[in-house]
Each structure stands twice: as structure tokens, then as C-alpha cells.
Amino acid sequence: MGHSLLCMMGFFLLSTVICGNDEDHTTHSQDADESEYQSKEQTTSAPPEPTVTLQPSWTQIYSGETVTVRCEIQGGEGAQWTYEWRPAKLNTPPKSSEYRISNAAECDSGEYSCRGKRDSSWTKWSDNITLTVLSPPKPTVTLQPSGTQIYSGVIYSGETVTVRCEIQGGEGAQWTYEWSPAKVNTPPTPREYTITNAAESDSGGYSCRGRRGSPWTEWSDITTLTVLSPPKPTVTLQTPWTRIYRGDRVTVRCEIQGGEGAQWTYEWRRGQVNIRETSNEYRINRFNESDGGGYSCRGRRSSSWTEWSDSTSLRVTVPTKPTVTLQPSWTQIYSGETVTVRCEIQGGEGAQWTYEWRPAKLNTTPTSNEHRFTVTESDSGGYSCRGIRDYLVTEWSDIITLTASYKPRPVLTVSPSWLSPGASVTLNCQVEHPSAGWSFYWYKAVPDLSEKSSSYELLPDGSGTAQDSYIIHGQTHTAGYVCRAGRGDPEYHTDHSQPKFVWSADVHSAASLTVSPDRVQHFTSDSVSLTCEGNFTEWRVMTVPPSDPSYYYNCWRMTGSTCNIYTSKSDTGVYWCESGSGEFSSAVNITVQ
């Protein structure tokens, strides 16, 4: 256009105006034909007015571009004008109607106006036109995914993205663009470039530059596009337990690794059946059998779907009836023993059950599946429990019965009753309700005359034997024995048994009992004296009546070391002496007829 205008105006002289230290860059042209032209009509009509125009008409020019300023005098066509310019630097002769500023510099910015002279009279000055020369802007490359928000330059293959070259302040002009990588430069090189069905090979750095006059802008910074293959989602179960019971509230979540920040749409299916759910979570308020199956999901954030996740299988676990166990598991519990009752739900591990107990006195801590207590007789009875979780209540367990008894007293038997040389003695300790878990303690009785009883001395290796019998070798004189039993942790002990004896008939031992008259058979109303002999100062005579071998008595008619009996049938029994220093004498079996 500039060129055709120059042609219309005939020919031009070129001169230069210096802008700052720049090299010559402004030319002006002037009509060389100075012929005077006057129009009467024009002198009588309105005075001609000058206008400054810019070609191209952009008021913002980038340095290096070319712009032409022209003084046009409206109504003055055909006349021979002389021009004057502001700024005055344009007035270096010859004064031209038109200046071409090629390779514009920032110092060319300013207000431009002109006036014309004809017949020695000047027109008025034109309005100012503002020319702004800027350094060219730096373009930027933007990435615009279709529909959804891009996530830090990352899209998934198959998606669509538009790469656009933005030149700030360059609107309205006809720009030409150049792209890097060059594959985008298919002519006419566009401002934006849409990559449909992106592939991983579209990943990379994009930059652009533009021009609308002669020079290019500088290259934009590189904007990186990353095309990833879409991630595979996973379905996760959002419950703290892995088992699902009927009635549970269950949430499954579709997780897309690395897909955070993007706006996804989800699709769900159970087996091959689609579920009406488009969010990343699928909730089932009361899970039942018909909700069971393999759940999978996939996501979409523009046009392309991720692949389907692997399927996560959900199904109803049928809760088993709980079981109550008693620890220790003895059927007979004695008062004073410590027991633990425990409620067990098979397959209920990991779930947050609370427990309900019968009897209700155990429900003080409802979440506890076990109770430990020291048994009294009032704890006898049936124990059962059930589990509760959300809406779910299991059946009651079978009842386990706890029978608490009084502290037992074991019964000791000693065999044989009479010592024979070389034979061993076997002790046997029987607990009233024999049940598992007992260990046994074996003692020797030591007579204690001041206490009118005996003290007990543990036999060698007689502490806590698993066997309920104990064998003694080489016993040569009368001895008394006691046992008791213990079990549990802390150990619970029975009472001591009644003492039992093995008797020696050997009258030549260190201590002996002699009978006068010297026979074993006596008749009622006989006067019989029993005398303790040996190197001891204090004695008592003891007897065990055959009618009740669990009792034994001491003679209450002692004179010195002699007991005098006026016999009756009830005096039948085995007699022996016990010394004040803990010795037993030989024994005699007396029958009264």
C-alpha cells in the first residue's frame, strides 16, 4: 500500500533524520514539482487542514519495524505545498510530506504533527499523532487442553491439546509465526496448533516467535508438554477391616495414581454390569449378598478413558457364632482361682467388634472380648457372648458353664500300711474333682507336741510333681505324710491332706511302743497300758481307728510315757508314739473284742 501511494505521488527525494545515535534510518520524500496551484474555490471555502497519518496505522510499532508518517492536507489536493514538521528534526530540507522510518527505534516515539504552506500562508498545525516504538514483545506458548484443566503440562495420550503462541499487545496485527519444533510449521503457519489424539511422541518443549513487519520477535521460553500413557486406576476398599458383613457400610474408591488435580469422570462396574456412579467413590449403605462381586473402575478427563482397573472382589462374610472359652479350660474351678473368659468370633479378626456378655455383670467394658477375674462361688453359672458391629449382631454363643467349688482337700493314701524290709512306699494324692492342670506337693509330717499337731517338711523333689504319686525307698521306721495340689498362674493351692502313715512294727528301733499285757488281741474292759520307750523325754501316743482312717487321736490318759486304756471296742486301732523332738516309734495293731 505504501508503495502504491508513493507511485501516485510521482517521484521522491530521500533524505535522512538522525535519531539519537542510531544510524540513518529515516527518509523523506518530497514532490519535486514546485508549480503553484491556486483554486479560487478553495480559497473561498474552509481553510485546508493537515492530518498526520501512520502507515501501517498501528500506533505501537516494534523497534526494527518500518513506519511511514505522512502529512495529508484535506482540501489541498493539487496545490504545491511546503511542509513543516514537529518534531523539528524532520525539517532538515527538503521538507517532505512523507517520512519513512525504517528500522524504527524507541527514540522515534513521540508526538508527530505537521502544517503546510501555500502562497506564503500556513495552515494550522495538525493534531498530534502519537507514535510508540516498543521493544518487540516476547511471545509465550500456552497449552490448552480441551475441556478439562491441564495439569502442569501433562496430558494423557489420546487427549487433545492446543498449543498457542501468545504475543502480548500484538492483537489486531497480522502476525506470521514460526514454531519450534519445526514440524508444527505447516504453512500457513498458524498461531495455534491443535494436537488431537496426542501420542507420547508429542511430548517435548514448544516455543514460537512472530513477526508482522520485518524483524522476528525473540523466541518464547520453552513450554513443556508431557504426554503420558493414561494411568491404570485401582479400586480400594475404604474400611479399616477386610471382611464385610451383611449390613456394613462399604465405600470403594477409584484411585488414579498421578491423576490428582485433574477433573476426572469415572465409570464403575460390578462384574460386567455398569453401575450408575460417576464420582470416584461408590458407597453401599447396607451391604448385602447382591452387592457382592468384582468392582472395577476407569477414569476419563477429556475424551479418552484410562484402561479398566483390576477388579476388587467384595463379598459378604457370614459371621460365625462366637465361642466362649474359659482359660484355664478346667471344668471344675475352685473359688480363689483366676480365670479368663474370652469371646471369639471366627473370621472376625481385624473387625471392630464390641461384645455383649451374659451374665450382664460382665458388660462394664463393652468393647472387651475377655474378662479375667478371681472366682467366688457366686461366679458359678453359664457364660455366653455375642458380637456387635454397626448394624450387625451375631448369634449368642453356646453357653459354657463355670462351676466354682470350695477349696478342695486332697486325700492321701499310703501303701503299704506296714513297712517290710526292702519294699518301697507309694504315696498317692487324690483331688476331690480330678481335672487337668494339677501338680502335687509331698511332705513328711514332723510331730510337734506343743502345737498338738504336726508341721510339714517338703520331701526331696516333692515340689510340684506332675504325677499324683510319689515313691519312697528305704524307709525303715514309722512316718507320716501329707500332700497338697496346686495349679494355675498365679498358682492356686488346695488345703493340705490329712496325714497318713506307714508303720514300722520293729520294736528294736530307736523308739518303740510296748503293750502290757503283751498281746495284740484284748477284750473289752481290759486294762491295757501302752509305753513309749526310747531316748526321749516327752511322748504322746497316737491312734487311728479303723472305722474312720481320716482321723487320728492322741491318748488323753498319759502318765509319763505310758498311756493306760480301759479297753472298749472303739479302742481298736493302730497305736504309736510321737516324741517331742519329732520322732515316731514303732506301731502296734490292737484289736479289742
**Residue among 514 and 589 whose Cβ is closer to ligand NAG:** 589
Residue 344 CB-half CA count within 13 A: 11
Is position 535 an interface residue for ligand NAG (rule: CB under 6 A)?
yes
User: Rounded distance, CA 505 to CA 525, Å?
Assistant: 25
Residue 341: helix, strand or coil by DSSP? strand
Residues 413-452 that bind ligand NAG (CB under 6 A): 417
Smaller CB distance to ligand NAG: residue 289 or 461? Answer: 289
Do 505 and 538 touch, CB atoms closer than 8 A? Answer: no
Q: Is 422 left (phi over 0), alpha (psi -120 to 50) or beta?
A: left
202's CB contacts (< 8 A; 6+ apart) are 161, 195, 225, 227
Between residues 205 and 546, which has the closer beta carbon with respect to ligand NAG?
A: 546
Among 10-18, 260-268, 288-296, 319-327, the segment contacting ligand NAG (CB under 6 A): 288-296
Residues 6+ positions from 482 with CB-CB distance below 8 Å = 412, 442, 443, 444, 445, 454, 456, 496, 497, 498, 499, 500
Nearer to ligand NAG, 124 or 183 (CB): 124
Q: Cβ closer to ligand NAG: 288 or 313?
A: 288
Choice between 385 and 592, CB closer to ligand NAG: 592
Kindly state whether residue 162 participates in binding ligand NAG, applying the rule CB under 6 A: no
Among 289, 451, 489, 548, binds ligand NAG (CB under 6 A): 289
Q: How far is the CB of 246 from ligand NAG (least distance, A)?
A: 8
Q: Report the Cα 435 to chain-centroid distance in Å.
A: 47
Separation of alpha carbons 330 and 492, rounded Å: 13
Among 24, 77, 111, 119, indicate the residue that binds ligand NAG (CB under 6 A).
Answer: 111
Q: Nearer to ligand NAG by C-beta: 141 or 414?
A: 414
Minimum distance between the CB of residue 72 and ligand NAG, rounded to whole angstroms? 17
- Please choose, from the candidates 90, 361, 104, 359, the residue with its C-alpha nearest in 3D space to the C-alpha of residue 212: 104
Tell me the closest approach of the beta carbon of residue 110 to ligand NAG, in angstroms: 6
- Report, in Å, the least distance between residue 308 CB and ligand NAG: 25
For ligand NAG, the binding residue among 128, 263, 327, 346 (CB under 6 A) is: 128
* Dist. CA 456–CA 181, nearest whole Å: 105
**Interface with ligand NAG includes 550 (CB under 6 A)?**
no
- Binding segment toward ligand NAG, per CB under 6 A, in 18-26, 50-58, 237-245, 286-294: 286-294
Q: Applying CB under 6 A, does 113 fall inside the site for ligand NAG?
A: yes
CB 585, min distance to ligand NAG, A: 13
Q: How far is the CB of 271 from ligand NAG (least distance, A)?
A: 16
- For cell 459354657, what's the residue? 400
Cell 463393652, residue? 366
CA distances from 10 to 7, 317, 531 (A): 5, 100, 173
Q: Which is nearer to ligand NAG, 70 or 212 (CB)?
A: 70
Q: Is 339 in the site for ligand NAG (CB under 6 A)?
A: no
Minimum distance from residue 118 beta carbon to ligand NAG (Å): 22
Rounded (to 5) percent helix, strand, coil in the chain: 5, 45, 50
CA distance 85 to 92: 10
Kindly state whether residue 574 participates in binding ligand NAG, applying the rule CB under 6 A.
yes
Q: How many CB atoms lie within 10 A of CB 513?
A: 27
168, 290, 367, 420: residue in contact with ligand NAG (rule CB under 6 A): 290
Enumerate residues 6+ apart whose C-beta is below 8 A from 313: 292, 293, 294, 295
How many residues of this chain interact with ligand NAG, rule: CB under 6 A? Answer: 11
CB 61 within 8 A of CB 132: yes
What's at 139, amino acid-wise?
Answer: P
- Compare residues 86 and 409 and give the one whose CB is closer to ligand NAG: 86
Asked whether position 591 contacts ligand NAG by CB under 6 A, the answer is yes
Kindly identify the residues of this chain, within the stretch 177-196, that bind ligand NAG according to CB under 6 A.
none
* CA torsion through residues 58, 59, 65, 69, sign: positive
Q: Which stretch binds ligand NAG (CB under 6 A): 22-30, 41-49, 194-202, 282-290?
A: 282-290
The dihedral of CA 489, 490, 492, 496: what is its sign? positive
CB of 169 to ligand NAG, least distance (A): 23
3-state secondary structure 531-551: EEEECCCCEEEEEECCCCCCC
Work out which of 39, 59, 278, 288 binds ligand NAG, going by CB under 6 A.
288
Choices 11-19, 166-174, 184-192, 285-293 (CB under 6 A): range interacting with ligand NAG = 285-293
CB of 387 to ligand NAG, least distance (A): 21
By CB under 6 A, name the binding residues for ligand NAG.
Answer: 111, 113, 128, 288-290, 417, 535, 574, 589, 591
